[in-house]
Structure 1
Amino acid sequence: MKILVSLFLGIVLNLGTTITPNISTSSIVKAEVPPYAKWGQLAMQKTKEKYPNAAITDYLHLGKVPGTTSSTEKFKLWLKEKDKEFGVLVDIEIDKNTERLIGIKFREVTR
């Protein structure tokens, strides 16, 4: 009987160690900040300034368009103001060498 109990306990303890996940802090993956994040924040900030009575309800990075001396980060923000909902396309032009802002363009869209 002692042998059976010891065998049973050994099996249960081994199962417990194999079933229980071993999670360490080294296995946690940190999310990377995308390179366009600072420009996305600027797009939201400037859109809030241009449309102070509207709430930004959605945000999408449309991509980066490279040029010879500058590049343009493109965003689409969806806004709601009272009963009106509309999109705003935001183009942020950046100097390729200095990473400084050249200009921002806004264009309202219905979709």
Structure 2
Amino acid sequence: MKIFLSIIITLSIISMPQENIFSKEQRQYEETPSYAKWGRLAMSKTKEKYPDADIIDYLHRGKEVKETYSVEKFKLWLRKENHEFGVFIDLKFETETEKLIDITFTETSQ
């Protein structure tokens, strides 16, 4: 009976979906998007540029990869007093080293 029970338990563990085997920390790491680092930088630089505004929304618009550099593109929605506006942020960096080259901000009402 003990051998039968051991076989059943072993088969149950083997047939478990892999996602249940990984720790919560491992799953969170795997779910972190590749642009997360750049998103944090975009928000930080936006707070520096607009210190009196609150960031109320965040959108990753994509990534452009060129020959030697890449550009991560974001749109943040800000609120300052009773005024809301969007800011497009482009972070240009060397693709190989990820060294930041330039940051551009473009305000929009939409």
Query: TM over 0.5, yes or no?
Result: yes
Greater Cα offset, 29-38 or 83-92: 29-38
Q: 5 Å matches for 1:30-45?
A: 30-31=27-28, 32-45=31-44
Tell me the percent identity. Answer: 52
In structure 2, relative to structure 1, the CA distance for the partners of 1:27 and 1:70 (3 Å cut) is closer
1:20-53 alpha-carbon deviations (Å, 9 max, x no partner): xx9x952777241111000000000000000000
User: What is aligned with 1:26?
Assistant: 21
- Count how many residue pairs are aligned between Structure 1 and Structure 2: 89
Q: 5 Å matches for 1:64-75?
A: 64-75=63-74
Question: For 1:97, what is the secondary structure of its paired residue?
Answer: coil
What CA distance in whole angstroms lies between the structure 2 residues aligned with 1:90 and 1:61? 10
User: What is aligned with 2:84?
Assistant: 85
User: What is aligned with 1:58?
Assistant: 57
In structure 2, relative to structure 1, the CA distance for the partners of 1:35 and 1:25 (3 Å cut) is same
Give the structure with higher Rg (CA).
1
Consecutive unaligned residues in structure 2, runs of 5 or more: 1-15
Consecutive unaligned residues in structure 1, runs of 5 or more: 1-21
Greater Cα offset, 89-98 or 26-35: 26-35
Letter in structure 2 aligned against 1:69: T
Q: TM (normalized to structure 1)?
A: 0.74
